[in-house]
Structure 1
Amino acid sequence: MSLITLRLLLISISLFFPETFCYRQLVSDLTEIRQSSTYENNVASRAIDGGSGFSMSSGSCSHTGVGQSEAWLRIDLKKVYSINTIEILYRNDRGSDLVNTQRLHGYSLQYYDNEWKECYRDSTPDNVPIPMQSTVPCRQHTQYIRIYTYTPSPNDQYVFLEICEVKILGCDVHQYGKNCTHCSRGCNKCDIVNGCVKCKPRFSGENCESCTAKWYNEDCFQKCSDNCPNDETCNEVKGNCPGRCLPGYRGAICEQKCSGGMYGFKCMNTCDTCVNMSCDHITGSCDHGCTEGWTGDLCVEECSNGTYGFQCKNTCDTCVNMSCDHVNGSCDVGCIDGWTGEMCGKVCPEGHYGHNCSGQCQNCENETCNHVSGSCQGLCKEGWGGDKCQEALKTSTVIFPFIYVLNGACGSILVVYIVIIIVVVVR
């Protein structure tokens, strides 16, 4: 088998079995093709007919017209693709490899991106044949490909294109590799060979498949809550914080503040000793102070040291050992001497004194005495003496049988005055 026959066989296999190549053949039945001019009946569509003939006589090659200063073959893929390579097969029936491709020297391969741009320009010397098939890299996103030349061959006055077959290999946009694998959702620039080479904002990872820290959702467009613990990032799909929320917050993504008089970790603490149960959702510090009987920053400390009530301003100093209920002030073990009532806020009723007001000051004039000690506030009744008028007195028979010795300072002074008057009279 000759070298030329073997080459033709390999080319035929590549045309009829495109799956042997890594990338998809993007030319399809929908593809449209035009050329700048046409020689005889060698129309542009022959360049994408999948034929295996590479001579003009085979009827499978295109040919631009004679007498032209430029020539082009334009292919419309009908949608934008990610192109990898373009394969060109030229006519091979002019006697030698050099002569076969002489008219192709200096051509350019172009793609359209608002204007025609080059992805390749041939620089093969005029005395060297262009290898056939010719595989040219053109890694671009485009819908249109154009083979263009304005360079005549050394043996011609005019410019020609004689292309027998064109293959455009690549994938859909956002795909890469031999299997046309999809680039990740976070890829901003998907290279046909290398995959994702640039991430979208807020995406990261080798293939831009993950949200950067603190972002989530399908497009990594939503920010994780600042209430995730230890500045941890959240679930990149749903935004859930890992495990738990910071104190003061609740909900799957920790966006809800504790409410209803709750605060702290998992909103498990209550601030029911705060006025109106209103407190800071994180620390529990009361917004408007403590309810009666409580004190401290969190209002969790009972009033102490004999105090009770709102802001612990009231004292229970009439309770035994100053021991009382920290909320309402009711005494724990009763009242001290001289006081009565549930909160020991009342003095003993008139005529009573002492512990539980059980003492009576019945020997005091007008039955009036000190509510604590029981000492009379004035004179004792006749026949009684002592501080509390509880000592019975004896009758005097020497000087004044009809007068009894009086108790207290007032009685003593009266006796002295009477004695002095008697002495004066006797003299």
Structure 2
Amino acid sequence: MRLKVVLLSIFIQTFLFIVAAQINLASKGKAVQRTTYQNRLAYIAQVAIEGPANNKWEDGCSITDSGQTYAWWGLQLPVVAYMTNILIYYREGFAYRMDEFRLFLENGTADQSSNSGLCYTDKGIPGYPDITQNITCNMLAKNMYFVNRRSSPTCFIELCYVAIYGCWKGTWGTNCTTDCPDECIDRHCFPNNGSCVWGCDVQRCFHGECDSKTDLCTKGCLPRRGGRYCTFYDVVYNRTTKQILSGLSSAANALTDGNITSCISTSSTSLNSYIQIGNESLIVITGVYLVFGDKNPPIGIHKVYCSNSTDSWADGIVLYNAEYDNKDIPVFAVCKYVIYIPPILNGNSKIDICEIEIGGCPYGNYGDSCQLTCSKNCMGPCDVITGNCLFGCSVGWLGEKCDRACDAGKFGSQCLRDCSSNCLSSPCDHMTGRCEAGCLKGWEGFNCTEGLYI
């Protein structure tokens, strides 16, 4: 048997990370194979994407027919996707039939597969392959094909489970719910971090400047976009800025203008130094990105608070409290003010602060540009990407967006209560339980639960 170079624990950790970050695209596609063993339904291609995820024959495997020199199994998706990893469980005890397999990611048919679409080949590798494979591809395609050939009619493909992890082209992030930035060419980005696959489009960057080596907009993002790769809506863009810092080279409003080259320098900070952004309007915060200049390294501990009290962070929520890290920091908070506290500088030390970018939406809004309105039936804010109500629904409402009233005959919190059987006609009010058409003879009261004594 081939030496397993990846320890099982590492494999499991990697697999769990993939599941958390992307989605299994296989369930949205159509499974096909060149032939089916004895044309029996028990062995059709679809079996391989239904699970369970193991190598056991008794739990079901797709199988191609006998007497073949060429066989393939495929997964055809409805649209193009960026496929990061392919997880394969081959039939237990039959690794020799898996030997020399190849994995293609193509937009055409299996018979059209070429080296340009080759993700992985087992040809030329001594020994039999591991019957459980987690193969990294990182390729853009519409279809995936598992292909094998033999010089004699002994070619089989026996797949017990296949999962394809990635995101649909144009999306990224957890569950692929975030749109790729406008700044990316053809709006195509990596599923794990939203960075541009083919680079940034100069027409989408601030002042049309894009770094071809880093895929970053050199002077920042388009107005109201923020984050390292311009992936979020900058909810503090051009917001009111207040500074309690000495030795500033320019006004603090440069930190919210979207231009990462317009920085301010400070050489003297104390325990009472801070920069405050915001006004009396509530904002939902989901990310923090700080930008510093190149002249002076941003040494020390940087702190960012979310507060509902102006000029105070005593009761605020800590969004960031660490040395500088040039990446987007995912957070969640609801408040009116964002307060940045720089590190205490000594001697001739300086820091150059260029941008404080805060991902999120004004309270009550969601969408790529926060252009959509959360349901009025949400208990609290909604998710800034999907619009789903984060903390449940108001009385009488159901659904992820709390946009569905209780079914007839039900009312109240989570629609758990039954309308009174004494209502003259159904339904009762889905929020209060009030019998809208009145009560049956002999009953009275708000919901017809009080009997009349005659």
TM-score normalised to structure 1 length: 0.42
Task: Kindly name which structure, 1 or 2, has the bigger radius of gyration based on alpha carbons.
Answer: 1
